[in-house]
Amino acid sequence: MTDELSPAVFVDRDGTIMKDCDYCSDPKDVRIFPGVPEALRRLKARGFKLIVITNQSGIGRGYFEEETFWKVQAAFEQQAGPEMIDATYFCADHPDEATDRRKPGPGMLIEAANDLGLNLAACFMVGDSASDVEAGLRAGVKATILIGTKEKEPREGVWMAGNFSEAVEFILIQGA
């Protein structure tokens, strides 16, 4: 066992590595984006732990139960590939009653770092929204990467990528 803390890539799920289908509550609706399984394999091969960090207010709003979330997550992981995801952290908070665990709060990232022995300063956060970026910045990760076109204004400390595969290229160049 090494005394060194591990690097990781924290990844938002819905809209980042799978199609966002508004409060996804049916495993049949899971559609992983092209290139994601290969990109995840490349990160794993370089020694990164892969951690899903996702707000799931559909639970807090009463749209579906936690058990349903885990069924959707299992469908995602099946499409992503065996043993790609090291851990999943979700926050069921309703936005009007949010704790620090709900992104943009850094709570889930800090919790994962403590649970899994991660070095936040060697980690990356990849997401498709300002709240994903803010969570990464507040947690003190090495870099945050915003994918897609939801947020058009560049921000200091935030890298832009067209999709998850492009984000992974940046991470592999930057290293841990």
Contact between 56 and 91 under an 8 Å Cβ cutoff? The reply is yes
Separation CA 162–CA 150 (nearest Å): 11
All domains of the chain, ordered by start, with CATH? Answer: 8-174 (3.40.50.1000)
Q: What is the percentage of the chain residues whose pLDDT exceeds 90?
A: 87
pLDDT of residue 156: 73
| Greater model confidence, 67 or 2 | 67
The mean pLDDT of 106-124, rounded to a whole number, is 96
Separation CA 21–CA 84 (nearest Å): 22
pLDDT of 3 > 60? The answer is no
14, 93, 128, 132: the catalytic one is 14
- Encode pLDDT of 118-159 as tens digits: 999 999 999 999 999 999 999 999 999 999 865 555 677 799
Range name among 61-75, 94-108, 155-169 with the lowest pLDDT average = 155-169
Separation CA 135–CA 95 (nearest Å): 15
| Greater model confidence, 95 or 151 | 95
pLDDT of residue 152: 57
Is 12 a known active-site residue?
A: yes
Is 20 a known active-site residue?
A: no
pLDDT classification of 4: cutoffs 50, 70, 90: confident
pLDDT of residue 2: 42
- 96: number of Cβ within 10 Å: 8
| Mean residue pLDDT across the chain | 93
12, 93, 128, 132: the catalytic one is 12
- 22: number of Cβ within 10 Å: 9
pTM over 0.85: yes
